[in-house]
Structure 1
Amino acid sequence: MTQIRYADRIRMLEAPRGRVRCVLDTDTYNEIDDQFAIVQMLLSANRLDLQAIYAAPFHWPGYVEHPAQGMELSYDEILRVLALMDVKPEGFVYRGVQSYVGPEKVGRDAPAVDDLIARARASSTADPLYVVAIAAISNVASAILKAPDIIDKIVVVWLGGHALEWPHTLEGNLRRDVGGAQVLFDSGVPVVLLPCLGVVSHLLSTVPEIELHVEPHGEIGKFLAQKYKEYTDDHVGWSKEIWDMAPVAWLLNPDWCESVVTHTPVLTDQVTWSVDQTRHPMRYVYRIHRDPILKDFFDKLKARSQGAKLTAGSANTKVLELPPRSEDRRRPTRNGGHPDR
């Protein structure tokens, strides 16, 4: 693998300045939060230069039996979200791998992998491409295996695993492709890790909040609110994490995601964290400030629906002035909770 100078690695782990060139890797049909993250990025165009979206694989036994099927369902869901935001998918959305990297650590072929390699190679250590990853890391790990030279040209901001002090790290994004995650952590690529239980699990909302601050704001607001409310039939005393907004939030304002630079852990075959203080550094988010993240999103969504040019809040992000569409394509309701986290 390519080696990165320690000083360069530390600099790459700092929060980026100015407008951020980034791509999004997402298993959008897997849950309800990826849709929020896509909209969050599109509404933050002054801060985030979102250049591509990659459909990532996932599977659930009894629901989605093969990762290739999950990737295709996610690809279609990305198109639904973009249609509601009036964003054209051509040259912007790419299908991802159809199999996980797996314990054999084999890089898989896919248009998303090729696009990521090309964009990474057009970047540099001084001006890296930020890879916002909110799924199993198979697309990204495949790119690293196929083109190890890209590790000094990208920063991977990944929602994966649980807190480092957790007794295990059997979280959905990580456990689906443990081999891919091991490739990520062992490669030396700069990683900003946002763990689920113990950290991002604080990023909660409720049905009344969603009904007040999301649902009234255009067709995309109705779509997101419907996804949120369909997650379960019992909304009494119920709240739900919007996990995938957290990596985007770190890019928008790192003060919302408190972090430290620490040694990259060893991910064992038993899916636990192991400590090795000789390992290369990564940035580890240990606390999420839920309120400003959601307020920023709500303000931007409202401003877009009202045709405003700029949102309120510290991000000062220009809202895409795109009319919502009236299309209402829905996937089947999934009640009974989500096993991933």
Structure 2
Amino acid sequence: MELSFQVPDQKRVRLLINSDVKNEADDQYAIVHALLTPMFINKGIIAAHFGTWRTTLSMEESYAEAHHVLNLMGDKGKVPVYKGAPAAMPDEKTPVVSEGAKAIIKEALSDDPHRLFVVFLGPLTDLASAYLMEPRIEERLTAIWIGGGSYPNGETEFNLMNDIHAANVVMNSRIPLWQVPRNVYGMMRVSLAELECRVKPHGEIGKYLFEQLIKFNDEQANGWPRGESWSLGDSPAISLIMDDHEFGYVMKPAPRITNDMRYVHHQEERLIRVYHHVDARYTLEDMYAKLELFAKKR
């Protein structure tokens, strides 16, 4: 998207998005935000699985949904979509070979001088698999993960639940990791009225973003979401690249994660960046502004 300003080339970054986009309704917002951000050289979307609790074809559903979002944006064919792992890793030593894992390896080993970020809006299966397939990638990318329970103890969390083995592989590697745990990504609260005012009016993609979220909300009968509010919890993966919130994180020793998703603090050498704060106003207003400008220019 063309704006009235340009981002100097030396300040731009490469971006791969790994997303279980058909799991619910907020990944779509993060993907659109990324596609509208001129700082990013969008290198592709990797369709991620989201377990088997609803379907055994979750990755395929994410793959189709990523194509649908790109089509609504007019970016079909401009941004490649890769199939990620169809299911979780069977253990911590066996990678799940996929197009997505190979895309991570290819981009990480590229001689492109632009810094590479790979953001994970679901499980870490494709990152862990790529690392096991080609360990040389571990210091050639920065990974941002929306997932894991709150510190220090951990807790049940959906993205982590879908591949605990993969999370442990990544925690035990030297891959620079920025983790946005559940209690922090939950800060991205919005009301449905706000989305109706700020998203729905802006083009075909704005209408779709709003209506698919409302549809998902209407289909849930278990008390979540609450009815008039939502958390766009995947969106910090986009805004933290634009501004990394230098006072919003601490460096912590990477934990080992148990089968019940608790953190075991067993070492001091391997450090990861763990966020305790994200700026919802900055994140959401930037997305709203870009979506409005995109719709006007179209």
State the TM-score, normalized to the length of structure 1: 0.78
CA distance in 1, matches of 2:265, 2:94: 25
Corresponding letter in the other structure for 2:136: D
The equivalent residue for 1:207 is 192
CA distance in 2, matches of 1:127, 1:79: 26
Question: 8 Å contact 1:135–1:159 — kept in the other structure?
Answer: yes
Matched, 1:133 2:123: no
The equivalent residue for 2:250 is 260
- Shift, 1:176, TM fit: 0.8
Question: 8 Å contact 2:13–2:115 — kept in the other structure?
Answer: no
CA distance in 2, matches of 1:52, 1:217: 24
**Aligned positions, number:** 284
Identity %: 29
The equivalent residue for 2:169 is 183
- Shift, 1:36, TM fit: 0.4
The equivalent residue for 2:28 is 35
Which runs of structure 1 show a deviation greater than 6 angstroms over 4 or more consecutive aligned residues?
Answer: 234-237
| Structure 1 unaligned regions, length at least 5 | 1-16, 308-322, 324-341
CA distance in 1, matches of 2:246, 2:64: 31
The equivalent residue for 1:276 is 266
Corresponding letter in the other structure for 2:144: V
CA distance in 2, matches of 1:221, 1:128: 30
Distance 1:278 1:104, change over 3 A: closer
CA distance in 1, matches of 2:289, 2:175: 34
Instruction: Note the 1:15-94 alignment, pairs <5 A.
Output: 18-44=11-37, 46-61=38-53, 63-64=54-55, 66=56, 69-89=57-77, 92-94=80-82
| Structure 2 unaligned regions, length at least 5 | 1-9
The equivalent residue for 1:164 is 151
Question: 8 Å contact 1:19–1:49 — kept in the other structure?
Answer: yes
Instruction: Note the 1:206-225 alignment, pairs <5 A.
Output: 206-225=191-210
Corresponding letter in the other structure for 2:210: A
2:277 to 261, 274, 287: 287
Structure 2 SS opposite 1:30: coil
Question: 8 Å contact 1:123–1:129 — kept in the other structure?
Answer: no
Structure 2 SS opposite 1:224: helix
Question: 8 Å contact 2:51–2:87 — kept in the other structure?
Answer: no
CA distance in 1, matches of 2:171, 2:114: 21
